[in-house]
């Protein structure tokens, strides 16, 4: 195993090579933001309940998946004009994917302190396990959804 100084040096080299100097340097970004993130769930009802009742999102759309006629595609409003979407694949079975290179680690959602306190209360009320780092005013909650997807709610640092 390499020493921690190796990784610090590597990070510094990446910063020097890829981060532009100053806040406004570089070409304009060629996108206008996130339309939606699309994840996979095993059971639509559990997913809808978790994201609407626990995290306080709003379900906005339910449609057929364009690529798989037995699959349903749902959209949840994450705020800021962004959507979190889920597909189910009922004909494929409930097996979970395994995290690895090229997979997603977690979804991080911005919250205000009052929103974070409300989510904390709902998590406690439902006895849903989570870890808290910092405080609602400047911290993060990490919680797993019904399919073990790691969700972070953060008020920033």
For the chain, the domains span: 32-91+99-154
Reported confidence tier of residue 23, pLDDT bands at 50, 70, 90 = low
Q: How far apart are the first and last CA of the chain?
A: 31
Reported confidence tier of residue 150, pLDDT bands at 50, 70, 90 = very high
For residues 10-34, give the mean pLDDT: 79
Tokens representing 108? 């991080």
- Residue predicted with more confidence, 94 or 90: 90
Reported confidence tier of residue 24, pLDDT bands at 50, 70, 90 = low
Reported confidence tier of residue 99, pLDDT bands at 50, 70, 90 = low
Distance, CA of 153 to CA of 107 (rounded, Å): 8
Q: Is pLDDT of 97 > 60?
A: yes
Sign of torsion over alpha carbons 56, 59, 60, 64: positive
Tokens representing 136? 């609602």
Q: Give backbone dihedrals phi and psi of 151, rounded to 5 degrees, phi first.
A: -120, 130
Q: Is pLDDT of 102 > 80?
A: no
Distance, CA of 124 to CA of 85 (rounded, Å): 26
Q: What is the mean pLDDT of the chain?
A: 88
C-beta separation of 152 from 108 below 8 A: yes
Residue 100's pLDDT is 66
Query: pLDDT digit string (tens) for 27-77?
Result: 777 777 788 899 999 899 999 999 999 999 999 999 999 888 899 999 999
Give the domain 32-91+99-154 fold.
2,3-Dihydroxybiphenyl 1,2-Dioxygenase; domain 1 (3.10.180)
């Amino acid at each position: 195993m390499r020493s921690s100084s190796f990784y610090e040096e590597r990070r510094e080299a990446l910063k020097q090579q890829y981060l532009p100097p100053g806040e406004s340097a570089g070409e304009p970004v060629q996108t206008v933001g996130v339309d939606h993130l699309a994840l996979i769930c095993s059971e639509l009802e559990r997913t809808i309940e978790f994201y609407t009742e626990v995290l306080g999102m709003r379900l906005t759309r339910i449609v057929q998946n364009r690529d798989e006629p037995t699959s349903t595609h749902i959209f949840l409003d994450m705020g800021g004009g962004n959507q979190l979407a889920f597909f189910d694949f009922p004909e494929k079975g409930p097996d979970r994917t395994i995290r690895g290179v090229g997979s997603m680690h977690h979804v991080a959602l911005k919250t205000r302190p009052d929103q974070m306190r409300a989510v904390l209360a709902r998590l406690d009320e439902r006895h849903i396990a989570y870890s808290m780092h910092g405080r609602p005013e400047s911290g993060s909650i990490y919680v797993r959804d019904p399919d073990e997807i790691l969700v972070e709610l953060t008020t920033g640092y």
